[in-house]
Amino acid sequence: MTARVDILRPSLRPLLVWWPAFLLGLLVLVAIFAPWLAPLDPDRQDLLGRLKPPGYEGRSGATFLLGTDELGRDILSRVIHGARVSISVAVLSVLLSGIVGIAVGMAAGYLRGWTEMVLMRLVDIFLSIPAILLAIITVAVLGPGFINVILVLALTRWPRYARVAYGQTLAVAERPFVRLARAMGATPSRVLALHILPNIVGPLLVVATLEFGLMVLFEAGLSFLGLGVQPPTASWGAMLSTGRNYLATAWWIATFPGLGLFLLVLSANLIGDRLSDRIGEGR
Ranges of each domain in the chain: 82-282
Report the distance separating Cα 101 and Cα 240, nearest Å.
Answer: 31
Q: What is the reported pLDDT for 7?
A: 43
DSSP secondary structure of 207-243 = HHHHHHHHHHHHHHHHHHTT-SSPTTS--HHHHHHHH
Q: Residues 204-207: contacts with CB within 8 Å, 24+ apart?
A: 204/98, 204/102, 204/161, 204/164, 204/165, 204/168, 205/275, 206/272, 206/275, 206/276, 206/279, 207/98, 207/160, 207/161, 207/164
Q: What is the reported pLDDT for 56?
A: 87
Q: What is the reported pLDDT for 31?
A: 92
Residues 6+ apart with CB under 8 A from 144: 222, 226, 227, 228, 229, 230
Q: Element (H or E) spanning 173, and its range?
A: none
Q: How many CB atoms lie within 10 A of CB 6?
A: 9
CATH number of 82-282: 1.10.3720.10
Q: How many CB atoms lie within 10 A of CB 242?
A: 18
DSSP strands (E only) in the chain: 56-57, 63-64
Report the distance separating Cα 219 and Cα 156, nearest Å.
Answer: 12
Among 84, 77, 76, 98, smallest CA distance to 146 is for 84
Report the distance separating Cα 146 and Cα 152, nearest Å.
Answer: 10
How many residues can be counted in the chain? 283
Report the distance separating Cα 35 and Cα 42, nearest Å.
Answer: 9
β-partners of residue 64 are 56
Question: What residue type is assigned to position 186 of the chain?
Answer: A
Q: How does pLDDT run along the chain (283 residues), one tens digit per residue? A: 444 444 445 544 555 568 888 999 999 999 999 999 999 899 988 888 889 999 888 777 788 899 999 998 999 999 999 999 999 999 999 999 999 999 999 999 998 889 889 999 999 988 888 877 888 888 888 888 888 889 889 988 999 999 999 999 998 988 888 888 888 888 888 888 888 999 999 899 999 998 999 999 999 988 888 888 888 888 999 999 999 989 888 999 999 999 999 999 999 999 888 888 777 655 5
> Could you give the 3-state DSSP secondary structure of residue 175?
coil
Report the distance separating Cα 255 and Cα 274, nearest Å.
Answer: 28
Report the distance separating Cα 16 and Cα 218, nearest Å.
Answer: 28
